Amino acid sequence: MDPEQAAPPPAGRYAPSPSGELHVGNLRTAVLAWLFARTTGRAFYIRMEDLDRTAVGADRQQLADLAALGLDWDPPVVYQSQRLSSYRVVVDTLRDAGRTFECYCTRREILEAPSAPHAPQGAYPGTCRDLTPAERAERRAAGRPPAIRIRTDVDRFTVTDILHGEYTGMVDDFVVQRNDGTPAYNLAVVVDDAAQGVDQVVRGDDLLSSAPRQAYLATLLGHRPPEYAHVPMVLNPKHVRLSKRDGAVTLADLLERGVTASGVLNHIAHSLGLAGRHESVELADLADRFRPNELPREPWIYSMSEWGE
115 is in an annotated binding site: no
- Whether residue 4 lies inside any domain: the answer is no
124 is in an annotated binding site: yes
> In this structure, are residues 261 and 238 in contact, taking their beta carbons and an 8 Å threshold?
no
302 is in an annotated binding site: no
- Whether residue 210 lies inside any domain: the answer is no
- Whether residue 192 lies inside any domain: the answer is yes
**Count of domains forming the chain:** 2
Which band of pLDDT confidence, cut at 50, 70 and 90, is reported for residue 245?
Answer: confident
Please check whether residues 166 and 141 belong to one and the same domain: yes
Query: What was the pLDDT predicted at 303?
Result: 85
14 is in an annotated binding site: yes
Segment 214-234, tens digit of pLDDT: 999 999 999 999 999 999 999
Please check whether residues 280 and 294 belong to one and the same domain: yes
Please check whether residues 192 and 241 belong to one and the same domain: no
Please check whether residues 108 and 187 belong to one and the same domain: yes
Q: Which long-range contacts (CB under 8 A, 24 or more apart) does 86-95 make?
A: 86/1, 86/191, 86/195, 87/177, 87/183, 87/187, 87/188, 87/191, 88/183, 90/176, 90/187, 90/191, 90/221, 91/148, 91/176, 91/177, 91/183, 91/187, 94/150, 94/176, 94/220, 95/148
Segment 160-198, tens digit of pLDDT: 999 999 999 999 999 999 999 999 999 999 999 999 999
- Residue 242 is part of a domain; what is its CATH number? 3.40.50.620
128 is in an annotated binding site: yes
- Which residues on neighbouring strands pair with residue 166, listed in sequence order? 160
Residue 52 pLDDT greater than 80, yes or no? yes
Mean pLDDT of the chain: 93
Question: Which position has the higher pLDDT, 115 or 125?
Answer: 125
156 is in an annotated binding site: no
Please check whether residues 90 and 70 belong to one and the same domain: no
In angstroms, rounded to a whole number, what is the distance separating the alpha carbons of residues 231 and 266?
18
- Whether residue 3 lies inside any domain: the answer is no
- Residue 105 is part of a domain; what is its CATH number? 3.90.800.10
Domain containing residue 61? 11-82+233-307
309 is in an annotated binding site: no
Task: Collect all residues with Cβ–Cβ distance below 8 Å to 237 and sequence separation of at least 6.
Answer: 301, 302, 303
pTM: 0.93
4 is in an annotated binding site: no
Q: Between the CA of residue 34 and those of 53, 108, 149, what are the distances in Å?
A: 26, 39, 33
- Whether residue 212 lies inside any domain: the answer is no
79 is in an annotated binding site: no
Please check whether residues 20 and 96 belong to one and the same domain: no
Q: Which of 146, 180, 196 is the last residue of a domain?
A: 196
